[in-house]
Amino acid sequence: MPNSPVDVAATPAAPHPQTYAVGTGTLAGTVTDSVTDLMWQQTPSSGGASFPTFTWANAAAYCTSISLGGYTDWRLPTLIELASLADYDVAFPGPTINATAFPSTPGNTFWSATPYAGASGAARGFNFGGDVGATSGSTTVSTYVRCVR
């Protein structure tokens, strides 16, 4: 799991500093995490001034339908993958994510592919806003999505 700059600088130092490579050229619009080796969609839900939101099923369908950076194997991230992007050094109200690698990220909840165990019709998400952390909600609610491969 990537660690924030403050944790890496602490004594004792945490391993695995958050390091991202922002794609250029044919990889434009992507960000690769050097710790997890995951490639992320840089701008949530295809970007723009106002980002579209999706129900859980539509979020999964959206991710499998995109072609970005020359790749077509995009998917909805698991909860732990999504949580690995959190930068807890970012002050309230956030968004608690590296703004250089992931500019214009809304401080809000993003869907994960993780269903909410024991609750039919619910799934897990991760809130990058003021109430940072894992959350859950009805799969019929629309929220943001950032795809991964």
CA angle 135, 85, 106 (to 5 degrees): 65
The segment with the largest mean pLDDT, out of 12-21, 57-66, 82-91, 130-139, is 57-66
Structural domains of the chain, count: 1
Query: Does the residue 85 lie in any domain?
Result: yes
Query: Does the residue 53 lie in any domain?
Result: yes
Closest by alpha carbon to 145, among 41, 45, 29?
A: 45
Q: Which domain holds residue 70?
A: 38-138
Report DSSP letters for 32-59, one per residue. EETTT--EEESSGGG-SSS---B-HHHH
Query: Does the residue 23 lie in any domain?
Result: no
pLDDT at 10 over 70: no
Give the model's pLDDT for residue 123.
97
pLDDT (mean) for 96-105: 92
Q: Which region among 20-29, 48-57, 65-74, 99-108 has the lowest average model confidence (pLDDT)?
A: 48-57
pLDDT at 47 over 80: no
CA distance 143 to 31: 21
Task: Report, in angstroms and rounded to the nearest whole number, the Rg of the chain calculated over CA atoms.
Answer: 15
Query: Does the residue 4 lie in any domain?
Result: no
Query: Does the residue 102 lie in any domain?
Result: yes
pLDDT band at 6 (very low <50, low <70, confident <90, very high): low
Query: Does the residue 49 lie in any domain?
Result: yes
- What's this model's pTM, rounded to 2 decimal places? 0.86
Query: Does the residue 30 lie in any domain?
Result: no
Query: Does the residue 25 lie in any domain?
Result: no
